[in-house]
Amino acid sequence: MKLQIVPAKQGLLWVKQGIRTFWRQPLAFTGLFFLFMAWVSVLSMVPFIGAALALLILPAATLGLMVATEQAASGKFPMPTVMLVAFRAGQLRLKAMMVLGSLYALSFLAVMGISALVDGGAFARVYLANAPITPEVVNDADFQAAMWLATILYVPLSMLFWHAPALVHWHGVPPIKSLFFSAVACWRNLGAFALYLLAWAGVFVAGATVILVISSALGGNDLTGAVLMPGALLMAAMFFTSVYYSVKDCFDLPEPGSEHQA
């Protein structure tokens, strides 16, 4: 396993590769992403521990989407079972992935806990418990402060976990070491990741603008609401497809078709 340093412009290529691979198998990736969302949603409904369970499986689910991208890039049609790849990789890999998921859940809940110190937990309840979002809640200064604090704190958290599922699965790196290597890879390739995220922000804004303009012209607010959410989910699926390429260029992953290789 070797860390690779890439130029900043590589971030744009990751976006292009993700979008291009998505459109190779749009039905497959749309179905997998909705399966991913359904998986998280169902676990979130478990009383008391639902939010923690949903966070626990996120690294494994993210790995499933990365393996699906690797398969599509090699000309294969990713099947729904690819989402279970982390649970079929052997006892040692599974244990490591569950440890990684536990660390992610604890870290994310800690971020929400810190934000709760600012607004009494209003933002955390909206994010984790699907509490109603009202104009009064959104416009509250404390709520906005908690939201921005959580966003800022999530940046280093995402750096720690960005590459970690792939390192655990493909290279057998222990969970704690995978977090360290992931953070180093993000920092050493900060220019590429900054451009990558800016490009995706532009894609989301442009996509939302096109949807709003077309739907407003054709059917007004009712059609806008009906189209905007599926459109956002479609773009989110493309984003997750691109994650594989950002990891692949930072670390030497196995060749396509060898997703179970250590």
Specify the pLDDT at position 219. 63
131 vs 122: CA distance, rounded Å: 8
Residue 5 lies in a domain: no
Residue 35 lies in a domain: yes
Question: Which amino acid belongs to residue 207?
Answer: G
According to DSSP, the residues that pair with 186 across neighbouring strands are none
Residue 66 lies in a domain: yes
Residue 167 lies in a domain: yes
Residue 20 above 70 pLDDT? Answer: yes
Residue 89 lies in a domain: yes
pTM, 2 dp? 0.88
Residue 260 lies in a domain: no
Specify the pLDDT at position 224. 61
Specify the pLDDT at position 240. 92
Tally of domains in the chain: 1
The three-point CA angle 86-92-93 to 5° equals 25
> How does residue 259 score in pLDDT terms, banded at 50, 70 and 90?
very low
Burial of 121 (0-12, 13-18, 19+ CB in 10 A): middle
Between residues 136 and 199, the one the model is more confident about:
199
* pLDDT tens digits along 46-59: 887 888 899 999 99
The three-point CA angle 148-153-157 to 5° equals 140
Residue 74 lies in a domain: yes
Between residues 197 and 257, the one the model is more confident about:
197
Residue 118 lies in a domain: yes
In terms of residue numbers, what domain contains 186?
10-250
Write the DSSP assignment of 35-68 as a string of letters.
HHHHHHHHHHTSTTTHHHHHHHTHHHHHHHHHHH
